[in-house]
Structure formats: C-alpha cells, structure tokens
C-alpha cells in the first residue's frame, strides 16, 4: 500500500511553454502533498506544500506564479511550470502523507525529469 | 537555523558493514527518517526513529540520540545494489522533513 504515482515520468519542452505534472496517491487519501525539486548531486529542495481544498504554501524563493499548484482532490495534486526556461530543467518529485497511518512518513512518487530546451 | 551534516561519500566492500552518521539541528523534533535514493530515482523509505535507541530492520538498523542530535544508519552484509545515496531527514516541529545532500555510498566487489 501507500503508492504514489507521477505523470509524466519525463518530459522535454521548448522554452516558454508550460508543463503540467500530476501526482496521485493511488491507494490512500492525502490531504497534504509536497513538491520537491532536485538538481544533480544536490539535496531535495522543498518547493511547496499542497493542501487539498486550499492554497499551497510556497517556500521562500519559489515563485508561486511560475509554479502553479492545484490540489483538487484527496488523491491528486498538480504542478504546472509556466513559461518554462532551461534553468527550470530538473527532477521534480512529489510526496504524500497518509493520514491513516500513525507514522508521519512521506511516500514519494517516482519523479518527473523535466528538460527545457 | 536548521542543519543536517552527513559525510558526502563513503566506500565499502561487498559483504562488509558500514555506518553512516548524521548530526542535525532542527526547530523542534518529530522523529528522524532515513531514505535511500538510487541515481535518477525518487527516495524510498528505510527507517524511522522517534525515541532514543536502535531500530533493527533486516540488514539495516538505525540509531537515534535526541540529546546529541545524532543518528546513524548501519548497513550489514553489503550488496552491490546498496550503492546509492542515503538521506538523513529529521522532521521539525511543523512536521516538515529537513533534507541534507545525503551520503553517496559506493560498494566495491
């Protein structure tokens, strides 16, 4: 149990276009999902915390108008990278917390590798 | 501030034992997680400690000392597939995981 999926697993896009990444909890409900970005050989960087039915909480330095987050249901959160530029190329990972469990573990999706040309 | 300190890289031999140390400073504490991350993949959960002491789980064990802000991950009977990065991630008072850069473990035959 506690499986998180992400789609797409990789995407290549042109500079200036927008890309949407989906994160789904497949077998549990997640009122809270997290979006991370990871550059090669660097640590996971939390971008925002996504709460179902309310606005996401963005970390300092993350532009909320550029990285649009929508958490429309208890099993789905989306991250849209708007007007993507080459410096947005990174590995984007979502995670979700299963409130049905006592342990505050975050279950991670497989990640989405974004390359902006 | 919040800080995680782990060795950047470690090398060990197949079949041996390795201990990866982690010291941390967080605003509040709600337990500490260890994750494994293979190159190009997302992290996977290994262990969770919230009380002092040793938690054993097969070949992997994790230890926590809250008073010292210290944890270690012990890997026994190392296999080639254990080559990965190991991330120590304490959880702060807001239940947010604090991430360091992790320890890259290289296993040699």
Going from the C-alpha of A67 to that of each of A25, A36, A63, A80, B73, the distances in angstroms are 20, 11, 6, 6, 35
Q: Which residues contact B56 (CB under 8 A, 6 or more apart)?
A: none
Rounded CA-CA distance A88/A54 in Å is 25
C-beta separation of B53 from B63 below 8 A: yes
Report CB contact under 8 Å: A111, B41.
yes
Q: Name the closest residue on chain A to residue B36, using Cα atoms.
A: A108
How many of the other CB atoms lie within 10 Å of CB of A6? 19
Rounded CA-CA distance A50/A32 in Å is 6
Q: Is the peptide bond before A8 cis (omega within 30 degrees of 0)?
A: yes
Mean pLDDT (whole number) for A101-108? 78
pLDDT at residue A102, rounded to an integer: 67
Q: Is B93 exposed, middle or buried (0-12, 13-18, 19+ CB in 10 A)?
A: exposed
Q: Which of A9, A43, A94, A95 is most worth mutating to test chain B (most B CB atoms within 10 A of its CB)?
A: A43
- Residues in chain A with CB shorter than 8 Å from the CB of B42 are 93, 108-111
Q: Is pLDDT of B37 > 80?
A: yes
For residue A105, give the nearest of B40, B48, B99 by CB distance: B48
Report CB contact under 8 Å: B42, A108.
yes
Which among A110, A113, A41, A57 is positioned nearest to A81, based on CA atoms? Answer: A113
B79/chain A closest Cα distance in angstroms: 22
Give the pLDDT confidence of B44-94 residue by residue, as tens digits: 989 999 999 999 989 999 999 999 999 999 999 999 999 999 999 999 988
Q: Is pLDDT of B29 > 80?
A: yes
Q: Which of A49, A104, A107, A114 is most worth mutating to test chain B (most B CB atoms within 10 A of its CB)?
A: A104
Residue that the structure tokens 């991250």 belong to: A79
Tokens for A18, please give them.
């927008």
C-beta separation of A33 from A86 below 8 A: no
Report CB contact under 8 Å: B97, A106.
yes
Rounded CA-CA distance A35/B97 in Å is 12
Q: pLDDT confidence of A104, banded at 50, 70, 90?
A: confident
Number of cross-chain residue pairs from A and B with Cβ atoms under 8 Å apart: 40
Which residue intervals of B1-109 are DSSP H helices?
Answer: none
């Amino acid at each position: 149990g506690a499986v998180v999926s992400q789609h797409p697993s990789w995407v290549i896009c042109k500079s200036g276009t927008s890309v949407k990444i989906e994160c789904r909890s497949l077998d549990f409900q997640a009122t809270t999902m997290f979006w991370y970005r990871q550059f090669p050989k660097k640590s996971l960087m939390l971008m925002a915390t996504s709460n179902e039915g309310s606005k996401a909480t963005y970390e300092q330095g993350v532009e909320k108008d550029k990285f649009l987050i929508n958490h429309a249901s208890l099993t789905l959160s989306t991250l849209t990278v708007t007007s993507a530029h080459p410096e947005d190329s990174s590995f984007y990972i979502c995670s979700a917390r299963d409130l049905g469990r006592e342990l505050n573990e975050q279950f991670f999706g497989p990640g989405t590798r974004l390359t902006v040309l | 501030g919040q800080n995680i300190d782990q060795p950047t890289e470690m090398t060990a031999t197949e079949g041996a034992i390795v201990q990866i140390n982690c010291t941390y400073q967080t605003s509040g504490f709600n337990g500490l997680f260890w994750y494994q991350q293979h190159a190009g993949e997302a992290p996977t959960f290994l262990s969770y400690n919230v009380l002092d002491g040793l938690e054993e789980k097969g070949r992997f064990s994790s230890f926590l000392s809250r008073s010292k802000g210290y944890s270690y991950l012990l890997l026994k009977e190392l296999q080639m597939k254990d080559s990965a990065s190991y991330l120590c991630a304490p959880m702060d008072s807001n239940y947010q995981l604090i991430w360091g850069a992790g320890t890259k473990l290289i296993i040699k035959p």
